[in-house]
Chains A and B, each alone.
Chain A
Amino acid sequence: MVTTLFGVSIIAFVILRVIPGNPIVMMLPPQATQQDILELKAQYGLDKPILVQYGIWLMNVAQGDFGVSIHMKQDVMELIMERLPATLELVLAATAIALILGIFIGTLSIMKKGTFVDKLGSLLAILGLSIPDFLWGLLFIIFLGVFWHVLPISGRIASTYTLKTITGFFLVDSLLKVDFKGFYSAFLHLILPAFSLALPLTAIVIRVIKSSLLEVVKEDYILLARVKGLSERVVIFLHALRNALIPTTTIVGVQFGFMMGGTVLVEIIYSWPGLGKMAVTAIITRDLPLIQGVVLVLAFIFVIVNLIVDLLYTFMNPKIRYG
């Protein structure tokens, strides 16, 4: 786990310094002299050799100091913490939607094998995989935002609101403040972006559930469950699903980690003030400290999620849990 983090930070560090385009030059007016450039460079410590720069950065990070954003002139950690909850809320909502929809459709599909429901489920699965999140986003915006004004398509909450945030999660904060109107607005704003992210994942969940269930259903204990006279519904939803969920949660967990780093386009399209949007701007403006900070935080989250997934797996599999 630690090596992964190191690896990622090193890759980021090196690549960024290889990038053509100098953040310093971008910051200064065109008339800036060589002297000005050198001074600014020194101020940001960019004049030292790479290894030293990395060493310094590492030491600072160990103390929780991620540096200051060159472009936005704010503390990197602050910036990240401002945006992180927005992205987290989005990804959590998307994952929840994907799990519920996917498990339901996938299981139903297996139960009514070969019928209309099954074919519909398969179609949805392939569609979900073929249409990436941002295209879903654009489709939603066109049909539900532009052609028919059904749902909001911009921002996290109606601009008339100023939500005093505690956790940064609008849904949670509005409930804590018993602000139902605020909750409703935040909820509406969350729907389209969350669904855009959720649908490709739903397709994956449907696939995994179907394939796991197909495997599980061949097992003897499913035959025994039927022999006992249990209804098909009980056999599938209780006995089969319980076992099929194990590989499913593993995969969904991993996808969650990936999604955290992949919200960029959806955030841009919906003007969602999250990490992804900020990261892209940072890359374009060559804002090195910010990019490094974001990359490291995302990689960290990814690693943590993987750990949680491993723990979940152990927890869910009685053979491992009870030895």
Chain B
Amino acid sequence: MWRFVIRRCGQALVTLLLLSAIVFFMFRLLPADPTAAMVDAALSPEQIAELKAEFGLDKPLAVQYGLYLKNILLKGDFGTSFFYKQPALKILGDKILNTLILSLAAILVAYTVGSILGALMAWYRGSAGEVAGIVVGLVFRAAPEFWVGMVFVMLFAYGLGWLPHSGMREAGYVAESLAAKYLSLDFLRHLILPATVAALHMLSTPMLLLRNAMLEVRREEYVELAHAKGLPLRRIIFRHAARNAMLPVVTSLATAIGRSVGGMVLVEYVFSWPGLGREIVLAATRYDFPVAQAAFLMIAGLIMVMNILADLLYGYLDPRIVYK
């Protein structure tokens, strides 16, 4: 199993490396001034000279890329934000956790609720509830996340006043430890709406997949056999069949993670959730290239980590997989 993990991590690193190259060249080949990516024209000549030396901006692009990578891998230096005048990593550091928590919460809700609904729909085949479930699921998949976000804010935050309309915490909070910051009721209240909006968007996939899989499973021979032996149908399905039916659901998790974290940009924007997604929008608006580059790489990195975890989950569910 460990060989599998190492191999997957290796793959992820290679992909990240290639991605960093793509991003690097994108930022340098597209704007008019190639040095604009790292050097803020507003700096003093001495500072510009210093930065140029550090990133080798007078050397060929390939060498620059090497220096860029070296700075990231050895020093954790993603460049200095043009806007904040601070290291990009410092700006983005705690945002990673915020996005991770929101994504995990959304995926958790989507997949657990979605799976349960899918199973129920398979069970109550042909009922009005099943049709309603399909339609509702599809509607939320069709509706853009940001729009659902706006509507929910309208209804639940302003209309009913049950939940906060934006942000991650109330202003003026006092929090000593990381745990106190994230495990507070205030934080959870702020988490509910954005996580729900994101979850609703993803819900239909696991729901329909599980439903289809369960319906197919019902027809399988071993189910009939067990039923003939006298075991209650419900127990058969939920104990034996569900586990296998989960496999396609977990497979879909990989794509879902990618779309969720990437799409989290929209939810973060609507709810002013201080995460990587919102930061990349702000950075792009401000032409703050170092931060935009860094945020992009971090988002990609986050997706990869979560994909590896999803693969592990898949492996746990289906031990038949041979880890080469």
Partners in one complex: no
Residues of B within 8 A of A (CB): none
Taking Cβ atoms with an 8 Å cutoff, the residues of A that contact B are: none
